[in-house]
């Protein structure tokens, strides 16, 4: 099995992913309108609330990763990230007709990228 991806060891990639989830979570909770604009989602009170809920979920995911103390706990957190991102990718694409392909594609691409990265990092030795 490989020991690095993108030239970085597993431990570094895990921290990068944890901080990315935390920053995304903070953006969702504190600046949901800015996050909505990034994904070309029209602002509304409903969108704001849903992005705050999504942000809190991302903060919880990052907390799971930051508090992992063993390889097994880290791999479990990464497996959760793979599953969440796979489901997010699917739901973004399934809702594309209603939400618009531009927004759905951005959301699906983000989730697919992070899901693939989590899968790759989980497969590394270390």
pLDDT (0 to 100) of residue 106: 93
pLDDT (0 to 100) of residue 33: 94
* Percentages (nearest 5) of helix, strand, coil residues in the chain: 80, 5, 15
pLDDT (0 to 100) of residue 113: 96
What is the Cα–Cα distance from 124 to 89, expressed in whole angstroms? 23
Please identify every stretch of the chain with a pLDDT value under 70, giving residue numbers as ranges.
none
In the chain, domain spans: 7-123
Nearest one of 87, 27, 19 to 52, comparing CA atoms: 27
Name the pTM for this structure: 0.90
Structure tokens at 5: 């991806």
pLDDT (0 to 100) of residue 1: 79
């Amino acid at each position: 099995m490989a020991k690095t991806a993108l030239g970085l060891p597993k431990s570094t990639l895990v921290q990068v992913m944890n901080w990315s989830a935390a920053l995304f979570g903070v953006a969702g909770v504190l600046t949901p309108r800015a996050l909505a604009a990034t994904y070309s989602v029209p602002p509304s009170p409903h969108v704001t609330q849903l992005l705050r809920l999504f942000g809190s979920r991302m903060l919880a995911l990052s907390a799971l990763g930051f508090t992992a103390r063993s390889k097994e706990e880290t791999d479990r957190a990464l497996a959760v990230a793979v599953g969440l991102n796979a489901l997010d990718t699917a739901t973004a694409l399934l809702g594309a007709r209603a939400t618009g392909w531009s927004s759905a594609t951005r959301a699906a691409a983000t989730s697919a990228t992070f899901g693939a990265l989590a899968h790759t990092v989980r497969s590394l030795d270390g």
